[in-house]
Amino acid sequence: MRPLPRSLEPLPDETLTGFVLRLAHRLGTSPGEIAARTGLPSRLPLGFLHHLDDEHLTGFARAAQLTPAEVSGMLLAPLGERYGPLNPALTPRRTPARMIYDNPWVLTRSTRYCPHCLAGDGTAIQNLHGGAWRRLWRLPVTFLCLRHQCLLQHQCLGCTTPAQFAPAANAIARLTDDTLRPWQCRSNARPIPLQQRETACAADLIQIDLLPAAPDAATMTVLFEVQRQLIDLLAANGPETAMSAGAPVPVPHYFADLRATVAMIFRSWPAARDYASTPCLAAVLDAECASRIAQAEPLLNTPGKKKTSKPYTAPPTECLATGAALDMAANLLNTHDPVDARHRLAPLVQRLREADLALSTWLRRPSWISVSLRQAVMDLPRNRRAVA
């Protein structure tokens, strides 16, 4: 693999796809061409966002004049050391490559973004090629930009396609298009007559005049604090443990517990409604749960394997609803006392067991949640239920 004539310094927390987009822009070529010239398949398979095998990793590093460590720092797989939904011990998969499939707790076919961050930080290089498309935006537990104190966006405000939506199994849309800048929407515009080349939406995702209004100040203060704590836990040098359901648990287990608790909140709604920190967050979750019930309804009458639990186990698409759900889950888990944890979670577990026994068993299995959450939500022998 021959080195490219010029390359770029990776930005902190930049994704591989974001780096390829900036590098293509710098060299005046297409992302597909960059992939091919760095030894990656030119269709850039989705899985390469998550993990590269040694051959691809060293080839890419050499061609882009980076160290192998810099390249693995652009992948999602290393985040699994702290993030349970990407950790094989807490998210069992037959092969490592399957980690990103059927895993709604990592965004692979789209991303969230902060328009201000994407516009760049004012340095010369970012003025030219934009800021980083960040890795943390691919984790649904990231819903707010701490730097700019705003909720993230999840779609193009021009065409409403999810941001960086990946059609087919490619990590980047319009791979051969060399006319778009890294912060422009690459989704195809509305259907056009046959024979004509499809054009890109090309909306600038850094435009801020169309952004929806922020929620009230008290709600933003709550969400900022929740997000700050979660980002601290995801940092490589962050704390080793977090309090979950009556005891400190390793950080990846805490994120697994949040995932399970969010599903319990949705499936047992409104059992946990009192744990909303503000009226706005409670109202947002009312609407979110109504939409999940509406999604699950038609599945009840479909033939074959029922997937009626599915609408309840994914994080919300909208960043405000995500923040609301995570705040509530964190409030439920945040106690030092195992008895208190059991008391808080009991109404959810009871309602969940009544509504969906299969999901209740699935969410509480040992390979899915921490030991302390398991103790807080496990079924007691019949004679002890009365005193618990």
**201 touching Zn ion, by CB under 5 A:** yes
| Residue 338 main-chain phi, psi, to 5 deg | -60, -35
**185 touching Zn ion, by CB under 5 A:** yes
Stretch that binds Zn ion, among 66-74, 183-191, 272-280, 348-356 (CB under 5 A): 183-191
Residue of 27, 159, 231, 314 that binds Zn ion (CB under 5 A): 159
Q: Cβ 280 to Zn ion, closest distance in Å? A: 22
Stretch that binds Zn ion, among 155-163, 222-230, 268-276, 376-384 (CB under 5 A): 155-163
| Residue 247 main-chain phi, psi, to 5 deg | -160, 155
Alpha-carbon distance of 160 to 330, in angstroms, equals 30
Q: Cβ 309 to Zn ion, closest distance in Å? A: 32
Q: Is 354 exposed, middle or buried (0-12, 13-18, 19+ CB in 10 A)?
A: exposed
Beta bridge partners of 204: 184
CB–CB of 173/20 below 8 Å? no
Residue of 156, 226, 234, 281 that binds Zn ion (CB under 5 A): 156
Q: Which is nearer to Zn ion, 114 or 171 (CB)?
A: 114
Q: Which is nearer to Zn ion, 159 or 314 (CB)?
A: 159
Site size with Zn ion, rule: CB under 5 A? 13
Of residues 69-128, which lie at the interface with Zn ion (CB under 5 A)?
Answer: 114, 116-117
DSSP annotation string for 35-87: HHHTTS-TT-BGGGGT---HHHHHHHHHHTT--HHHHHTTSSGGGGGT-GGG-
**175 touching Zn ion, by CB under 5 A:** no
Q: Which is nearer to Zn ion, 132 or 185 (CB)?
A: 185
Q: Which is nearer to Zn ion, 156 or 352 (CB)?
A: 156
Sketch the per residue contact string, 245 through 284, with Zn ion: x for CB under 5 A, - otherwise: ----------------------------------------
**148 touching Zn ion, by CB under 5 A:** yes
Q: Cβ 180 to Zn ion, closest distance in Å? A: 11
Dihedral sign, Cα of residue 215, residue 221, residue 227, residue 228: positive
Stretch that binds Zn ion, among 99-107, 194-202, 279-287, 305-313 (CB under 5 A): 194-202
Alpha-carbon distance of 24 to 202, in angstroms, equals 16
Alpha-carbon distance of 156 to 294, in angstroms, equals 25
Specify the DSSP class assigned to residue 140. Answer: T
Whole-angstrom CA distances from 251 to 78, 93, 340 are 14, 20, 21
**145 touching Zn ion, by CB under 5 A:** yes
Q: Which is nearer to Zn ion, 145 or 175 (CB)?
A: 145
Residue of 49, 151, 203, 349 that binds Zn ion (CB under 5 A): 203
Alpha-carbon distance of 79 to 51, in angstroms, equals 11
**385 touching Zn ion, by CB under 5 A:** no
**321 touching Zn ion, by CB under 5 A:** no
Q: Which is nearer to Zn ion, 47 or 120 (CB)?
A: 120
CB–CB of 30/145 below 8 Å? no
DSSP annotation string for 165-223: ---TTBSSSSTT--S--TTB--SB-S---TTSPPPB---BTT--TTPPPP--HHHHHHH
**205 touching Zn ion, by CB under 5 A:** no
Sketch the per residue contact string, 337 through 356, with Zn ion: x for CB under 5 A, - otherwise: --------------------
Alpha-carbon distance of 304 to 276, in angstroms, equals 37
Binding site for Zn ion (CB under 5 A): 114, 116-117, 145, 147-148, 156, 158-159, 185, 187, 201, 203
